[in-house]
Amino acid sequence: MSYDTTTEVPTNNKVTVNTNYAKPNSALNVALVGAGSFATAMHLPNMQKMKDKYALYAVVNRTGHKSKTVATHFDAKYTTSDINDVLIDDNVDLVFITTQHKDHAALVLQSLQAGKHVFVEKPLATTQEELDKIIAFYNDDSIVNKPQLLTGFNRRFSKYAQEIKTHTEQRTNPLYISYRINAGFRPSTDALHEHGGRVVGEVCHFIDLISYLTDSSIVSVSVEKLSPKNGHIRADDNVSVLLKYKDGSVGNLQYFAVGNKGYQKENLEVHYDEKTIIMDDFIKLTGYGVKVKDINSKTPEKGQYEELIHFYNAIAKNQWAIGFDSMVETTQATFLIQDN
């Protein structure tokens, strides 16, 4: 996965790519900020499958050649290297942020202040100070008709999470959840270790899914990290996290980078009321003592497509696709883990 950044902006180059741009009246005009490989391989193709909901209107990127290539391929109206071009454009409904992690919070705040709905890939912020500014925006009673915000915690929208939730909603007792992530080794020089590292940038995904299934709020976070003997192994890439929830549920999160890459990446076990549901890598779901739908997949289906549908509907109904407090709580939990 790679990202582009708009932090260091060169002299503005706004270029019209498609003079015949048109969209269905029901679709949101989207300004993509950061034309990296994840956006172009995942989000934009998904948007093309739902043209009644989303239309790529503008591409903002630090390098003009990349943005023009993306804009041409996905039929956007124009490209620019200046975020302000889309913020002052009344035709832009949604700013879609897929830049480097360090730029997320500032771009989110700028876009919200301009009255744009915002989708931002995780993380929402990399520091508490950044997060506090976004919280202050939503707490400001002088701002009416605040835009919608969604952080890309896609796993909760997957058909696997949805199926598990239909059963756990009927439980009598709290959940015991065990979530194991074989994250894979990344060298210390990897950019993923910057600006909050893999805990802030990736572990947030797994905390969000656990919180979604419990439908409760976190009351405590306990952390243990590996004590490596070799310098190339990072302690913060190998963590055990115990999450205690207000309803009595427990989430046991094991995130490690020292495992073998041939082993499965994600395994989720949900235990309750003498029932067990196991999800393997978002390709298989198995129930013990509970009958689950046969929704096995050939490749992992992690909910990226479904989250866009949920977000569109949330904007239309002026509702949160994920509650703001939940996004904040998940982000703050990663700060606690990282700082432990």
Examine the fold and report which residue of 97, 121, 147 is the final residue of a domain before the chain moves on.
147
Phi, psi (deg, nearest 5) at residue 185: -75, 135
Which CATH number fits the domain that encloses residue 99?
3.40.50.720
Examine the fold and report which residue of 98, 123, 147 is the final residue of a domain before the chain moves on.
147
DSSP state of 44: H
Name every residue whose Cβ is closer than 8 Å to that of residue 321 and which is 6 or more positions away in sequence. Answer: 148, 150, 307, 310, 311, 313, 314
HSE at residue 298, side-chain half, CA atoms within 13 A, is 0
In a domain, 48, yes or no: yes
In a domain, 10, yes or no: no
Examine the fold and report which residue of 107, 124, 147 is the final residue of a domain before the chain moves on.
147
β-pair partners for 15: 79
Burial 255-280 (b: 16+ CB within 10 A, else e): bbbebeeeeeebbbbbbbeebebbbb
Convert the pLDDT of each residue in 196-214 to its tens digit: 789 999 999 999 999 999 9
CA-based nearest residue to 21, from 8, 10, 31, 35: 31
- How many structural domains compose the chain? 2
Are the C-beta atoms of residues 203 and 334 closer than 8 Å to each other? Answer: yes
Mean pLDDT, residues 275-291: 98
In a domain, 7, yes or no: no
Are the C-beta atoms of residues 232 and 182 closer than 8 Å to each other? Answer: no
Q: Indicate if 292 and 165 belong to the same structural domain.
A: yes
In a domain, 242, yes or no: yes
Q: Indicate if 204 and 108 belong to the same structural domain.
A: no
Q: Indicate if 61 and 88 belong to the same structural domain.
A: yes
Q: Indicate if 184 and 250 belong to the same structural domain.
A: yes
Which of 37-46, 96-105, 126-135, 180-189 has the lowest average pLDDT? Answer: 180-189
Q: Cα separations (Å) of 242 from 32, 248, 252, 292?
A: 36, 13, 5, 27
3-state SS assignment for residue 201: helix
Convert the pLDDT of each residue in 288-316 to its tens digit: 999 999 999 999 999 999 999 999 999 99
User: Average per-residue pLDDT in the chain?
Assistant: 94
- Over 80: is that where the pLDDT of 147 sits? yes
Q: Counting beta carbons within 10 angstroms of the beta carbon of residue 254, is it exposed (0 to 12), middle (13 to 18) or buried (19 or more)?
A: middle
Q: Indicate if 193 and 297 belong to the same structural domain.
A: yes
Q: Indicate if 198 and 334 belong to the same structural domain.
A: yes
Q: Which domain holds residue 112?
A: 15-147
Convert the pLDDT of each residue in 64-116 to its tens digit: 778 899 999 999 999 999 999 999 999 999 999 999 999 999 999 999 999 99
Which CATH number fits the domain that encloses residue 161?
3.30.360.10
* pLDDT on residue 12: 61
- Tell me the pLDDT band of 284, cut-offs 50, 70 and 90: very high
pTM of the model: 0.94
Distance (Å, rounded) from C-alpha 337 to C-alpha 333?
Answer: 6
Convert the pLDDT of each residue in 6-36 to its tens digit: 433 344 689 999 999 999 999 999 999 999 9
Q: Indicate if 124 and 272 belong to the same structural domain.
A: no
CA-based nearest residue to 95, from 113, 119, 68: 119
